[in-house]
Amino acid sequence: MSGNAKSSADGAEIHDRGYRRYEGARSGVVGAVRSLVWQTIRSILGLGRPARHKVFPVIVVVIAALPAVVFLGVALLFRDLGDDSLVNYSDLFGFSVAPIMIYAAMVAPEALVRDRRDGMFSLYLSTPLTRPTYVAAKALAVLAVMMIIALGPVLLALVGYTVVGDGPDGVVEWFKVFFRLTAAGLVISAVLAAVSMAGSSVTDRRAFASVAVILVIFGGAIVSSILVDAADFSNTYALLDPMGTAGETATRILGESPEQGGSVSELSDIDTGVVFLGTAAWFAAGAGIVGYKYRKLEAT
Amino acid sequence: MSGSVSGLRAIVIAHRLLVRQLVTRGRIAALLVVGIVVSLVVALVSRAVGEDESTEEALEVGIEVMSNLGFTIVVPIVALVFASAAFGDLKEDGTLVYLWLRPMDRWPIVVGAWLATVSVSLPVTLVPLTVAALIADVGSELVWATVLACVVGNLAYSAVFMLLGLLTKNSVVWGIGYILIWEGLVAGISGVGEKLAIRGYTRSIIADQTGVDLYLGDLSLMTAIVVPVLVILAAFVLSTLRLRSLDVA
Amino acid sequence: MSGSESSPVPQPVIPPPPPPPPSESSARPIVEVENVTKSFGDVVAVSDVSFTVGPGVTALLGPNGAGKSTLFRMLCGLTAPSRGAVRVLGEKAREHREVRGRIGLAPQQDALLDRFTAYEFVELAGRTHGVADPSGRARQSLAYVDLDPEDPKRVGAYSKGMRQRVKLAAALVNDPDLLILDEPLTGLDPVQRNRMISLFHDLGDGGKCLLVSSHVLDEVARIGSNVLVVAQGRLVASGDYRRLRELMDDRPHRIRVQSDDARKLASALIGRGVADGAAVRENTLLIDTLNVDRFGRSIAPISSELGIRLREVVPTDDDLESVFRYLVERR
């Protein structure tokens, strides 16, 4: 009850309506991007909302982390088995393929489609945000959430192995592994974030965006595996699988090719350069669609 | 002036309303593309295999392609698109009230919605998959198996995903979770899993009809038809109860 | 400093007893709301509300978020009350199939089945109501709200005002005993508004029970003589509109005047009986007056006569919100 409440001598009163003019500092574009990133992450994960909104994201993260936990348990229980009991990191990435796909189908549709459908996009453009900064903020948020599911489990494994005493030898080696893991997780997240955002740019229904994303990722995986495995097409066709291509890139980054005890895939025989090119192509295609759609999008 | 609407009339009305809402140009076009891709892949594969393999092997490859591409992705995803939208879109838009606040029982609305889903999504899946089976040209067993499994799968998935659309706002994501995690991971673990996933029944029908052994396809034809029917009935009951207790905007 | 003839604060009419229905006999009221409370989690949307409504037009007035729509949704059975009972024609619409057929609702949300034409939409509403001749009734209802049944455009392409009328036509198609219209006048131009309001009166005179909500005070004045006022989830006043308006007009209006000599102006205004109360703070003068018109006419001549320069004359609490505040806090 400050300045706005007024009263006269006869006891009549006008109550303070609580209106406050904002007089604090204004944080400009950086602040706008920062808060848009954070609010987007909150809405995707259901933070600050009732528990039922958090159920789904949490279940999927738990499922993604399960293999890492199981292997950690094995490592802990059978310490004397030696290095054979350890799973390699590219396999760990492989175990969470389904959770990563589900996140890709969930994350960008939640981040992008809702804003267009209920007019928030236009509202954001009336703030210091522009189209490029808006899309960049959304991309950062999507990437951050994808990193949780893509990188979380492997980092958990790394930390776990280290605690158990099976981690990389020496501090330098440890950081080498850590950075390779991060780079690998970043590549997978970036490719799927691009595909996810592309799918979310083409339709104004969240449900349909999710389906579009899943059709591209899951469908691409199945089509490429049929072409290569069943029909004996050249292994290069495996690049039609965005998830597999990004995963193979991760394997190369980790330096876990089959000769080094890594996992085998249809892409194992392909040149590293070609694999990287395929990954870059998927990323560029997704980003290109997003850029094109958002340049043309009308703000009402 | 106004009376109440009989169950049968209500089914017809709900069906008509929802078919109209479900069929949008974008959806049909997108799913048509999916159908064409499926047929194309099957055609490519069967031609490639047919050149240098025996017929039996070609049949096996055809079945593998069909059950992987058709029954792990096309059938469930197409059913998911339309079934979750049946009530999901009305709830999201705030138009459910135009069906809810009427002198109609709740069960015919559910049955009508399911029929609407099926009459849109079944053709969209059945036609391309049957065409694909015909292109594969590995014998009539595969065609017949595809048709039967497609019908059973579509009807069952539609009922389950329609219920999902009534239960959660984000039904498509939950549906994708079910398809990828439950059917893809959990139900793939042991011999028990297949009985708890619709995919186990569609695969069993294909295995039974073609005589080819298929992973997760060991159930008898009888079981593979009766259990999905029971699943559909259970989904009807739950959907009806849910529709009755729903808070309508 | 204070006014000489400060009138006692008028008491708003406390809910019961409701006004008797215009002319009907002592038949059972069409709508009965009994100690109804509705909460969503921690938020109480409607709190211990009771009233009954008979035939004729009744306006439900309240600011946005007062609980009007929640009340309507409970009446239609779209959501169940947390406590208390809501009955329409003696039954609960949520459980009773036939009662749902005797209600016509034009909901607040702008949503229609966008892929239908207006005729198809209203005809479908007729079918879903089990109307004997849905096509004929649809044409009749559309004509009633001045819409063309032959218009091939889909309602998705309609303007806000046309959509409002489509909603009303759909609500009328089953010739309901109870018509619930949630903010039916928003988005209409003044001509359509007048047309719509006279339509409400026709329907009310025909013996139907209409419940029409609005958050605009002047609209409510024209919609119906029977008014229910809701604020913050509570029923704060009910009864004949003219009587309520009188009571509201008894409340002193407060006007802020900025001038170069507030003290002198204050004593002149009070002395001439133009103001009933005044408070001075530096150059700001706060005037309480029961007669705004007279105040408005006098302020300029008086100040020019005294050589006082006026900088600003602003009514501070003339909006609906302050009326509600007044009603609620003086209970």
For residues C105 and B157, give the distance between their C-alpha atoms in angstroms, rounded to a whole number: 34
A-C Cβ pairs (cutoff 8 Å, strict):
30
Q: What mean pLDDT is predicted for residues B210-225?
A: 81
pLDDT beyond 50 at B72: yes
pLDDT beyond 80 at A79: no
pLDDT beyond 70 at C164: yes
pLDDT beyond 80 at B102: yes
Q: Categorise residue C28: left if φ over 0, alpha if ψ from -120 to 50, beta otherwise.
A: beta
Considering A105-109, A125-129, B26-30, B185-189, the range whose residues carry the highest mean pLDDT is A105-109
Tokens 């903020």 belong to residue? A137
Q: Which of C41, C288, C317 sits opposite A8 (nearest CB)?
A: C288
Q: Which residue of B has its CA nearest to C125?
A: B98
For residues B112 and B103, give the distance between their C-alpha atoms in angstroms, rounded to a whole number: 15
Percent of chain A with pLDDT over 90: 36
In this complex, do C79 and B248 lie within 8 Å of one another by their Cβ atoms? yes
pLDDT beyond 60 at C62: yes
Q: What mean pLDDT is predicted for residues B122-141?
A: 86
Question: Dihedrals φ, ψ of C63, to 5°?
Answer: -70, 165
pLDDT of residue B1: 46
* Interface membership of B188 toward A (CB under 8 Å): no
* Interface membership of C92 toward B (CB under 8 Å): no
For residues C138 and A134, give the distance between their C-alpha atoms in angstroms, rounded to a whole number: 47
* Interface membership of C12 toward A (CB under 8 Å): no
> Taking CA C86 as the corner, what is the angle to CA C83 and CA C91, rounded to the nearest 5 degrees?
130
Considering A226-230, B211-215, C133-137, C220-224, the range whose residues carry the highest mean pLDDT is C133-137
Q: What mean pLDDT is predicted for residues B168-191?
A: 83
pLDDT beyond 60 at C143: yes
Sorting pLDDT into bands at 50, 70 and 90, what band is A18?
low
pLDDT of residue C324: 55
Percent of chain C with pLDDT over 90: 34
pLDDT beyond 90 at A192: yes
pLDDT of residue A95: 82
Q: Which residue of C has its CA nearest to B17?
A: C124
For A88, the token pair is 């390699």
* Interface membership of C2 toward A (CB under 8 Å): yes
A37 or A16, which is more confident: A37
Look over chain C and give the mean of its residue pLDDT values, rounded to a whole number. 82
Q: What mean pLDDT is predicted for residues A86-113?
A: 86
Considering A252-256, B32-36, C193-197, the range whose residues carry the highest mean pLDDT is C193-197
pLDDT of residue C216: 75
Distance from CA of C268 to the nearest CA of A (A): 17
The single-letter code of the amino acid at C287 is I
Tell me the residue ranges of DSSP E strands in B119-239.
none
Residue B70 DSSP label: I
pLDDT of residue C17: 46
Residue A180's Cβ-side half-sphere holds a number of Cα atoms within 13 Å equal to: 20
Contacts of A114 (CB under 8 A, 6+ apart): A43, A120, A206
Residues of C in contact with A50 (CB under 8 A): 41
Chain B contact probe: residue of A53, A54, A95, A211 with most B CBs at under 10 A? A211
Sorting pLDDT into bands at 50, 70 and 90, what band is C34?
very high
Radius of gyration (Cα) for chain C, nearest Å?
Answer: 24
pLDDT of residue A177: 87
pLDDT beyond 50 at C6: no
For residues A187 and A194, give the distance between their C-alpha atoms in angstroms, rounded to a whole number: 11
Q: What mean pLDDT is predicted for residues A98-119?
A: 90
pLDDT tens for each residue of B146-162: 999 999 999 999 999 99
C212 or A77, which is more confident: C212
Sorting pLDDT into bands at 50, 70 and 90, what band is B41?
confident
For residues C317 and C330, give the distance between their C-alpha atoms in angstroms, rounded to a whole number: 15
pLDDT tens for each residue of A279-294: 999 999 999 999 999 9
pLDDT beyond 80 at C150: yes
Sorting pLDDT into bands at 50, 70 and 90, what band is A105?
very high
Residue A205 DSSP label: -
Tokens 């104004």 belong to residue? A204
pLDDT of residue C249: 62
* Interface membership of A66 toward B (CB under 8 Å): no
pLDDT of residue A208: 87
For C165, the token pair is 């009328």
Look over chain B and give the mean of its residue pLDDT values, rounded to a whole number. 87
Distance from CA of B8 to the nearest CA of A (A): 31
Distance from CA of B206 to the nearest CA of C (A): 39
pLDDT beyond 60 at C202: yes
In this complex, do C128 and B98 lie within 8 Å of one another by their Cβ atoms? yes
pLDDT of residue A19: 66
Sheet of C226-231, strand order: C103-106, C178-181, C209-214, C56-61, C226-231, C234-240
Least confident among B234-248, C119-133, C190-204, C207-221: C207-221
- For chain A, the structural domain boundaries read 30-288
A-B Cβ pairs (cutoff 8 Å, strict):
95
Question: Dihedrals φ, ψ of A181, to 5°?
Answer: -60, -45
* Interface membership of A208 toward B (CB under 8 Å): yes
Contacts of C180 (CB under 8 A, 6+ apart): C72, C75, C76, C103, C104, C105, C106, C171, C211
Q: Which long-range contacts (CB under 8 A, 24 or more apart) does A271-276 make?
A: A274/A236, A274/A239, A275/A239, A275/A245, A275/A248, A275/A249, A276/A249, A276/A252
Sorting pLDDT into bands at 50, 70 and 90, what band is B109?
very high
pLDDT of residue C4: 42
Sorting pLDDT into bands at 50, 70 and 90, what band is C294?
confident
Q: Which residue of B has its CA nearest to A216?
A: B34
Contact C117, C152 (CB under 8 A): yes
For residues B81 and B32, give the distance between their C-alpha atoms in angstroms, rounded to a whole number: 13
C264 or C240, which is more confident: C264
Q: What mean pLDDT is predicted for residues C148-165?
A: 91
Q: Which helix (H) or strand (E) holds C254?
A: strand C253-259
Sorting pLDDT into bands at 50, 70 and 90, what band is B30?
confident
pLDDT beyond 80 at C19: no
B170 or B122, which is more confident: B122
pLDDT of residue C173: 94
In this complex, do B30 and A212 lie within 8 Å of one another by their Cβ atoms? yes
Sorting pLDDT into bands at 50, 70 and 90, what band is C251?
low
For residues C226 and C211, give the distance between their C-alpha atoms in angstroms, rounded to a whole number: 10
* Interface membership of C1 toward A (CB under 8 Å): yes
In this complex, do A211 and B172 lie within 8 Å of one another by their Cβ atoms? yes
Sheet of C310-315, strand order: C277-281, C284-289, C253-259, C310-315
For residues C295 and C305, give the distance between their C-alpha atoms in angstroms, rounded to a whole number: 15
pLDDT beyond 70 at C330: no
In this complex, do A12 and C254 lie within 8 Å of one another by their Cβ atoms? yes
Q: What mean pLDDT is predicted for residues A256-283?
A: 79
Q: What mean pLDDT is predicted for residues A163-169?
A: 77
pLDDT of residue C323: 57
pLDDT beyond 80 at A15: no
Sorting pLDDT into bands at 50, 70 and 90, what band is A117?
confident
Contact C40, C192 (CB under 8 A): no
Sorting pLDDT into bands at 50, 70 and 90, what band is C137?
very high
Residues in chain C: 331
Contact C123, C65 (CB under 8 A): no
pLDDT beyond 50 at B45: yes
pLDDT beyond 70 at A249: yes
Question: Dihedrals φ, ψ of C113, to 5°?
Answer: -75, 95
pLDDT of residue C181: 94
Residues of A in contact with C317 (CB under 8 A): 14
Distances in Å between the Cα of A7 and the Cα atoms of A153, A292, C221 are 63, 59, 30
pLDDT of residue A162: 84
* Interface membership of B4 toward C (CB under 8 Å): yes
Tell me the residue ranges of DSSP E strands in A202-273.
none
For residues B138 and C291, give the distance between their C-alpha atoms in angstroms, rounded to a whole number: 94
pLDDT tens for each residue of B74-100: 899 999 999 999 999 899 888 999 999
pLDDT of residue B26: 79
